[in-house]
Amino acid sequence: MNRALETTLDRFGRVDILVNNAGVSMAKAFEEVSDEDCESDFSLKVWGAVRFIRAVIPEMRKVGGGRIINVTNLGGRTPGAASMPTSISRAAGIAITKGLSRDLAKDNILVNTVCIGLIKSGQHERRYARLKATNPDFTMEELYAQGVKARGVPLGRVGEAQEAGDVIAFLASERASYLTGIAINIDGGSSPVV
């Protein structure tokens, strides 16, 4: 983390935007989740974000403000069955977002989160590779179609990474200068909460 911050400061001389986007999808029934699973998930998703946020706050204050955008997921707002520990760590990310938005508003540091739904990603590509190993005729389109059906995505398709990127870029821009402490679903309408 210190190296990333030093590299950014060496290259750009300042920090205006932090996007916390780290994670793996670990979803199990509660009774199957070990302490090690929880510790690993929290270390990456919660403590990683906390450490980066702590590091950039002084730099953002020096330049009169900034943007912190935490990438979480829908399970942090509406956990499903067998969604532990990911839904717990993502809920923590949403809570961090809301709390920090109030703490840092006086410094013009805006803190928001995007709750990601079914978006094309490397995680899905890795899952597809594992499934294809045992079923060579299985296609990526079938995997995504299964996901759309299982999650009941009203738009009937998987989101593109660029669509999520566009929302994040908007939150990082001056056009979002009156938005802080919000969670935006990027989910094709599948979340049961607004």
* Predicted local distance difference test score (pLDDT) of residue 59: 98
Residues 90, 91, 94, CA angle at the centre, nearest 5°?
A: 90
pLDDT in tens, 38-61: 999 999 999 999 999 999 999 999
Q: CA-to-CA distance for 91 and 46, rounded, in angstroms?
A: 10
The arithmetic mean of pLDDT across residues 149-173, rounded, is 97
* Predicted local distance difference test score (pLDDT) of residue 61: 98
The arithmetic mean of pLDDT across residues 141-170, rounded, is 97
* Predicted local distance difference test score (pLDDT) of residue 23: 79
* Predicted local distance difference test score (pLDDT) of residue 90: 96
* Predicted local distance difference test score (pLDDT) of residue 174: 97
pLDDT at 25 over 90: no
Q: Model's pTM, two decimal places?
A: 0.94
* Predicted local distance difference test score (pLDDT) of residue 111: 98
Question: How many percent of the chain have pLDDT more than 70?
Answer: 99
Closest CA to 119 of 166, 169, 188: 188
pLDDT-derived band at 191, boundaries 50, 70, 90: very high
The arithmetic mean of pLDDT across residues 1-21, rounded, is 94
pLDDT at 168 over 90: yes
Q: CA-to-CA distance for 152 and 166, rounded, in angstroms?
A: 23
CA Rg value for the chain? 18
pLDDT at 1 over 80: no
